[in-house]
Amino acid sequence: MFSEDLDRHYSDIYEEEVRKEKKLISEYKRKLKGLINISGLFKFLEENDHWTPMGIVDIKLTDEKSSGYSTYQHARIVDDPKPYLYKKNPSDEVKGIDHYYVWQTTGYLDDDYSGFLLFPLKDGKYFKVSYSC
């Protein structure tokens, strides 16, 4: 009996988290309307990674380089308390999005990744997404 109650409790918590995530994604779909190819971007994200919207941010380009990626443009998020160095990547996977910035870390087994993606918006800001795969 106790095990069934515990399973039901964890199932309820999971379902509530899924509802919250869906609501957050819907909110960002409204916020991003007219600023980016929403359907293409969200389809791309849903096909490739587990992701969560994090916000809309300003970036600043920097001459700093990360090891092994010296030929790529880099940027940082303005006023970010965790000043990660993001690498610019070209993109042709989503119509209307020619690049994105990424900061990524590798898991213990070297086959799992997580980090942040920054997608350009038409107003000069970037849509920040956390991801893991």
Q: Domain spans of the chain?
A: 2-132
- pLDDT, one tens digit per residue, over 95-111 is 999 999 999 987 667 66
The token pair that represents 29 in the structure block: 């779909």
**Residues facing 10 on adjacent strands:** none
Between CA 38 and CA 80 the distance in angstroms is: 25
Task: Note the pLDDT of residue 18.
Answer: 84
Task: Note the pLDDT of residue 10.
Answer: 67
pTM recorded for the entire structure? 0.85
Closest alpha carbon to 60 in 127, 124, 115, 130: 124
Contact (CB, 8 A) for 13 and 21: no
Task: Note the pLDDT of residue 110.
Answer: 66
Task: Note the pLDDT of residue 6.
Answer: 60
Residues 6+ apart with CB under 8 A from 58: 77, 78, 79, 124, 125, 126
Task: Note the pLDDT of residue 106.
Answer: 79
User: What are the residue ranges in the chain where pLDDT is below 70?
Assistant: 1-3, 5-7, 9-10, 107-108, 110-111
Task: Note the pLDDT of residue 99.
Answer: 97
